[in-house]
Structure formats: C-alpha cells, structure tokens
Amino acid sequence: MTWEPIEKPWNDISVEYCDVCGNLLIRRFWRFTTCDGVELRACSEDCEGLHARLHPPTRPGVGRD
C-alpha cells in the first residue's frame, strides 16, 4: 500500500485508469493488494476501501484482521 509515481516520457500521451472506480490516474497511483491477493492501482487511498465494499471477501474470514 503505497503511492507510486507514473513515470512516462513527455511524448507518451497514453492514459491510465483507476482499477477500482475508473477515474484517470494523473502522475501517480495508489498501489494496494486485495484480500484475494490481486494487486491493483487506484486513484486514491479511499478507493482501496471502496474496493473492499464492492467486492467483499469471497471466503469467510479472508481479509479480516
């Protein structure tokens, strides 16, 4: 769970999207791992919580501390 920069040369005009809400990623992204072990890139730290609300753990007990 960390902020990471999007390193691109100035002539790269591609765009990237948040894996959770679909918003654009601008210059950096929030990297986190879901309770199912999938690594995702998000536009904000809050999107990690949103992902957990939209996709609750598939197995009982998974993701609980």
Partner 1 sequence: MSTATGDRLGLTLLYQQCVNICDEMALAMMRTAYSPIFSEGLDFSTMLLDANGELLAMAGINPAMLGASLYAPKWIVTEVGRESFGEGDVYVHNDPYRGGSHIPEHLVVTPVFHDGEIQAFVGAIAHWVEVGGMAPGSFAATAEDIYQEGLRLPPVRLFRAGEPVEDVWKIVLANHRTPNTTWGDMNAMIGSLNVGVRRLRQLFEERGLATVLASFPLLQDYAEEWLREQIRALPDGEYTGEDCMEDDGLGDRPYWVRLRIVVEGDEMIFDFSQSDPQAQGPINAPYVVTVSGALNGFLLLLSPQERAPVNAGSTRPVWVVAPPGTITNVRLPGACVAGQTEVQNRILELVGRALAPVAPERAAAAAGGTSMNFLFGGVHPATGEYYAHYHFEGNGWGGRAAADGNDAQIVPHGNCRNTPVEVFETRYPWRHVEYALNADTGGAGRFRGGLGIRRTLRFVGDSIRISALADRMKRPPGGIFGGADGHPSGLELRRSGEPEFRTFQDVFRTVSPSKFVNVRLHEGDEVRITSPSGGGYGDPLERDPELVALDVREGFVSRESARAQYGIELTAAGGVDRAGTTESRRRLRGDVGADREALE
Kindly tell me which residue out of 4, 23, 36, 62 binds partner 1, with binding defined by CB under 8 A: 23
- Rounded least distance, CB 21 to partner 1, Å: 5
Instruction: Encode burial over 17-41: b for 16+ CB neighbours within 10 A, e otherwise.
Output: ebbbeeeebeeebbebebbeeeebb
For position 20 contacting partner 1 by CB under 8 A, the verdict is yes
27 binds partner 1 (CB under 8 A): yes
d(CA 14, CA 18): 14
Residues at the interface with partner 1 (CB under 8 A): 13-15, 17, 20-24, 26-27, 50, 53-54
